[in-house]
Chain A
């Protein structure tokens, strides 16, 4: 309620301070580039923009960012689906939780690099191996968050649906998922942040396209301006998805709570 009332002035203030903070960052960057005075080592913001524009005009930038986003989307969707299913099962059954809690801890602490290298070694430098590696990295995080959300579900409503013998599918969509919405959103955010980073490394290690592959290419040519340009384009895409996709979904899911 308070948020609704005070949303407008806070958002305006936040917008201004965000703008100022971005300008300060750019100024610091420019100052550092001027001080170092070696465009090969630290290009200025304008030089980076030039490099990005050149990539854009060649059609490379959009293609590689799109390829990376597609991998993120597929791995993210798979991991959310599998991770949520595991999380709900473990949260609902104490016996399963006791058996598989150890596995989950192993999964949570498995270094991402190990999964990637193993997947590439077992399945070859293929698209399936790349997606699989990212998915395997993310599933335990999602499962752990959704499991905690499931444990906090309202027991009295389950008792009600149990006596009335409500179909499991209906219990899932009408009783479980609405209560899990905050956990699922938290899992989506935590998972997405992880996925962005891992996908780039997977591409760097064994894919012939994508932002990660481009970064390796520019690394070989010592082209820092292009690396920065790709990073900025990628960060822009991530922020756009967060703002125009995740936040509206978040608001929709939270609607009944404010009613």
Chain B
């Protein structure tokens, strides 16, 4: 039931210098889509996510949920945002219900945190905390799942297992998902659609549909072709601020 409609969403920053972060974004996300929002740091990805989550306000335009009532939103922030004085299990049950302990334990096992249910967040590594935050978002069986760089700073092998988990979760539940990432390869592996946010215009400059990842095979020709196009496009971006914009140059994963 949960589609999302953005009409002319605009957001300006005045600090440090006045600029458009988002300029009249029009976007429709249909039910069951897995959309990746790709762009270099500072492109406004997180700002757009926060506006959709209701944590930031658009200066113009509107965000509309399709379907009845407020959808159940699940979110994984860039930081884990676990409650420091609650155990990992209690952190999950805070957003779920106390009757969901069994499901919470199962999800913690899926993100490879079995045995850490009673630990406090401070007793876990950063990567473990991020996985607990992912389990928390999945626990509520969200209608709309928002992921803000959920795999950043995880080591390569673990990140790959987490991508597999996200893919199998999406295939099982077809949860409408919005993934914010700077990593085009990660987006290609997980998404049915990739949006490219330009670094300086505050606009969506590319919108490509991909076949559903089931899971994505290596050397998928259709995907490779789209990726090549997107890479060529992102190469032309001016990069005044930092040499590391995060858009990968090499075709590292399929």
Contacts and interface: CB of A to CB of B under 8 A. Distances in A.
B135 to A, nearest CB: 13
A163 B55 contact: yes
Interface string A140-163: 000000000000000011011111
A173 B178 CA distance: 31
Given A170-B94, A174-B94, A256-B120, A163 B85 contact: no
B73 A163 contact: yes
A109 interface: no
Nearest to B55: A159
A94 to B, nearest CB: 15
Nearest to B123: A259
Interface residues of B, number: 23
Given A156-B79, A256-B120, A163 B54 contact: yes
Nearest to A257: B85
Interface in B68-107: 70, 72-75, 77, 79, 81, 83-86, 90, 94-95
B140 interface: yes
A98 interface: no
Contacts, number: 45
B70 A157 contact: no
Nearest to B56: A159
A166 B55 contact: no
Point out which of A159, A164, A170, A256 has the most chain B C-beta atoms below 10 A from its C-beta.
Answer: A164
A174 B86 contact: yes
Nearest to A175: B83
B75 A160 contact: yes
A220 interface: no
Contacts of B73: 163-165
B70 A165 contact: yes
A27 B70 CA distance: 73
B53 interface: yes
Interface of B: 53-55, 70, 72-75, 77, 79, 81, 83-86, 90, 94-95, 120, 122, 136, 140, 146
Given A164-B95, A175-B83, 5 more contacts: A163-B73, A164-B136, A174-B90, A175-B94, A256-B120
5 contacts: A156-B77, A156-B79, A164-B95, A256-B85, A256-B120
